[in-house]
Structure 1
Amino acid sequence: MPRRPPPVAPPLPQVAFDADGRPVYAWPQQPAVAPQQPIVARPWGMYVAGGCGAVFAVAVLGAVAIAFMIGLAVVAVCLALAAVALTICVVILRDVWRKSRK
């Protein structure tokens, strides 16, 4: 594939002559630059604070949930002990009742 020569800029238009008779050329025109999108300032600090607040809230809710579960476990143990004690009382009282009826 043959090499292409580098692109040549179009010649600048001659606008006048200076005092020594040399030609004066116009300045090259720059292409118009498209306007950039405006910079949107976002409150990153608030986002970080909100994330930290969410982590704190989840930690607090987790601690409350764990305390609630421990409370339920204590209630369950108390109910089990009460059931066992009631069963023992009923068995003993039934035996005492039977012996007293003979």
Structure 2
Amino acid sequence: MWTEKTVLDEITTALPVTLQLGLMGILVAQLIALPIGIYSAMRQDTWGDYIARSFAIFCIAVPGFWLGTMVIVFPSIWWGYMPPIMLIRFTEDPI
């Protein structure tokens, strides 16, 4: 291996970060999806419903790796800002 660490050491290092990233992704997805779904259910077949549905289908169709790359690349091109790509633990800075 590259790091001369055991597989168990590699897993114990990566597992907490992976779980945090997965849980935060699920939380953000639910915070976006539930209001859109409720709005679409309450106002079926209106322009707002069509727009919300189209947005949801677009979000499902866009590959995550491409969207993540664009989130990093576009701010650096348009505004000259490169988002910090490092881990800040949720317990250190929850917001």
Task: Please confirm whether the aligned pair reaches a TM-score higher than 0.5, indicating the same fold.
Answer: no
TM range (shorter): 0.3 to 0.5
**Which has the greater radius of gyration?**
1
Higher helix share: 2
Higher strand share: 1
